[in-house]
Structure 1
Amino acid sequence: MTTAKPHVGAPIEPTSFPSLSGDTISIGQPKDRWTMLFVYRGKHCPRCKRYLNKLNAVLPAWTEVMDVLVVSADTKEKAQADMDEFGWDFDLCYGMSEAQMRALGLYVSEPLSEAETTENFAEPGAFAIRPDGTLMLVDISNGPAARPDLEELLDGMIFNITNNRPVRGTA
């Protein structure tokens, strides 16, 4: 169960994730561009792979507009195995802690069996973060089947960025 609902319009809690590129990538701090953070369940989830493959296919359109960051609670080894298999072009981060999951208001699941995975993991989420580090848009799910359509989401984000739209749904 989530502990707090993220507050759109407010600064996102500064946090960092290790990346397979060897860098540490941070969110919640001022930067030059918008960031879209996608949280996925991990290596054990075939729906995640299909979604991330779709993201990778449209990634050039996304990166024209904003930085794209993908993270899970997986170990470096599991994340690397997925990267080796799929060859994604986005920044793939790993090691998301349960505290980080809860700070984003994500649903956290326990594995159904060791065949699934061995540690708690986050259910999917997408977070649009303004260059000033404030949260513009949140989409979270309590399971793998509900995720935003990538083309619609990008179209909406282009509209929001181009027109400097205010945060909606603050209450």
Structure 2
Amino acid sequence: MFSQYEDNVQRILHLMKDTFGDTFKTYYDGDPEAIPVFNLPAIVVTQTSDTTTSDSWQQDEVEDTLTVKIILNKRDDFDNDKVNPLNMTERKIRNFVAERDQDTGLYLPRTVKGAIRTMALEGITAIAGTMNVEYGINPRISGEGLADLTAEGHVTFTISYPVDIPVAS
């Protein structure tokens, strides 16, 4: 499934593809800012920081901060100029991020939180000790065929992993 040493953005991007499949039209490694309407809905995975701490002898502990962005076209809320007030893009995003089983209360497997909480941890010390989710409307670069207004959910979390340091000869 994942390589233990795979770039964490790629690891999470592959996890999102495995989780959602063709539910999303495009999966981006990094935010392109200008997204064509025909590429929505989309998932973007970005890395916002990397903190490296010298741990035990000949080993670093690295903590990557990643964000998974669920991006929907806000214009999809309008069907023939009518709004469906019970099924807006914001609700859809909340479901993609953290919908739970109505009987058990568990995250559904086809959610960002469900996938992250059940992913293989090979090569990882810790993942998502804390997840921060922000929701909102984002004005994107508009133009011919480009989305001008998107509804988005951003899930930010950390992945910690060790990196061995070779002995100098």
TM-score (ref. length: structure 1): 0.24
Decide which structure has greater strand share: 2
Larger Rg: 2
Decide which structure has greater helix share: 1
TM-score (ref. length: structure 2): 0.24
Higher relative contact order (CA 8 A, sep 6+): 1
